[in-house]
């Protein structure tokens, strides 16, 4: 009984696996374009993040007192919080 079950399982794998590989061949072309789009989106998000960090850096460099540093921290903390939900939606 166990041998028959194992043979049926092996035969099922043998006949089903070519069906999935046929789909992979047709989707390979589409995944190339999809890859380029994901790559461009990722680079765009990195550029936006770099710009935000540079803005925070310049604010901190121009600070002359502890109160100025606190103002920078609060300003950019609120910006990070407002951008956070966007990141979760992208994933």
> Over the stretch 23-75, which tens digit does the pLDDT of each residue have?
555 566 677 889 999 999 999 999 999 999 999 999 999 999 999 999 999 98
Query: What's the whole-model pTM score?
Result: 0.53
- For the chain, how many residues are written? 91
Rg (CA), the chain: 26
Per-residue model confidence (pLDDT) at position 56: 93
Domains of the chain, residue spans: 63-91
Per-residue model confidence (pLDDT) at position 40: 95
Per-residue model confidence (pLDDT) at position 69: 94
In angstroms, rounded to a whole number, what is the distance separating the alpha carbons of residues 40 and 49?
A: 14
Handedness of CA 30, 36, 38, 41 (dihedral sign): negative
């Amino acid at each position: 009984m166990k041998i028959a079950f194992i043979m049926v399982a092996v035969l099922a794998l043998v006949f089903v696996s070519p069906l999935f590989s046929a789909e992979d061949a047709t989707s390979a072309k589409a995944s190339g374009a999809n890859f380029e789009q994901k790559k461009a989106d990722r680079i765009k998000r990195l550029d936006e993040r770099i710009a935000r960090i540079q803005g925070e850096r310049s604010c901190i460099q121009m600070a002359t007192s502890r109160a100025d540093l606190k103002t920078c921290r609060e300003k950019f903390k609120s910006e990070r919080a407002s951008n956070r939900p966007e990141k979760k939606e992208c994933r």
